[in-house]
Structure 1
Amino acid sequence: MTRDRVTGQVCPIGRARRTTAAGGPTRLRSVLHYFFTGLLVAMCVLIAWFAGYVVYKLYEVQR
């Protein structure tokens, strides 16, 4: 068991929080996580829109 560097509490899993006073690597991971999650959501919306547009155009041609 390891102690958390910030709170001093025991981490039963053995992963103590690794941060510095300015946020350090944990803040960078958090920012990257939100950036790539937002990018993933944006791509899902774009793909869904494009699929709907293609279906719309296919039915429009049949009329």
Structure 2
Amino acid sequence: MPGAFPVGPAPRVDRAAGRYPLPVEIFFTSLLVLVGLLTTWFAGYVVYRLYADQR
């Protein structure tokens, strides 16, 4: 059926319009890094206690 689908490139979408403000992005990125560090520390502490309690 002619004319059923638009012909040509898709309209441009401004990707910057959908981003969060910089302070919000920094806050949540910092929170993600902090949770990763705390998780790593806790895992190391658990392994340390498991081996320390066997002595």
Is the structural similarity TM-score above 0.5?
yes
Q: Which TM bucket (shorter chain)?
A: 0.5 to 0.7
Higher relative contact order, structure no. (Cα contacts within 8 Å, ≥ 6 residues apart): 1
Cα root mean square deviation, aligned? 2.3
Aligned pair in 2 of structure 1 residues 61, 35: CA closer, same or farther (>3 Å)? same
**Structure 2 residue aligned with 1:34, among 26, 34, 39?**
26
Unmatched segments (≥5 aa) in structure 2 = 1-10
Does 2:9 align with 1:48? no
Q: Distance in 1 between matches of 2:53 and 2:24?
A: 43
Unmatched segments (≥5 aa) in structure 1 = 1-11, 19-25
Higher strand content, 1 or 2? 1
* Percent pairwise identity: 45
In our comparison, the structure showing a higher alpha carbon Rg is 2
TM-score, scaled relative to structure 1: 0.58
TM-score, scaled relative to structure 2: 0.65
SS where residue 12 of structure 2 aligns? coil
Letter aligned with residue 35 of structure 1:
F
Q: Which residue matches 1:22?
A: none
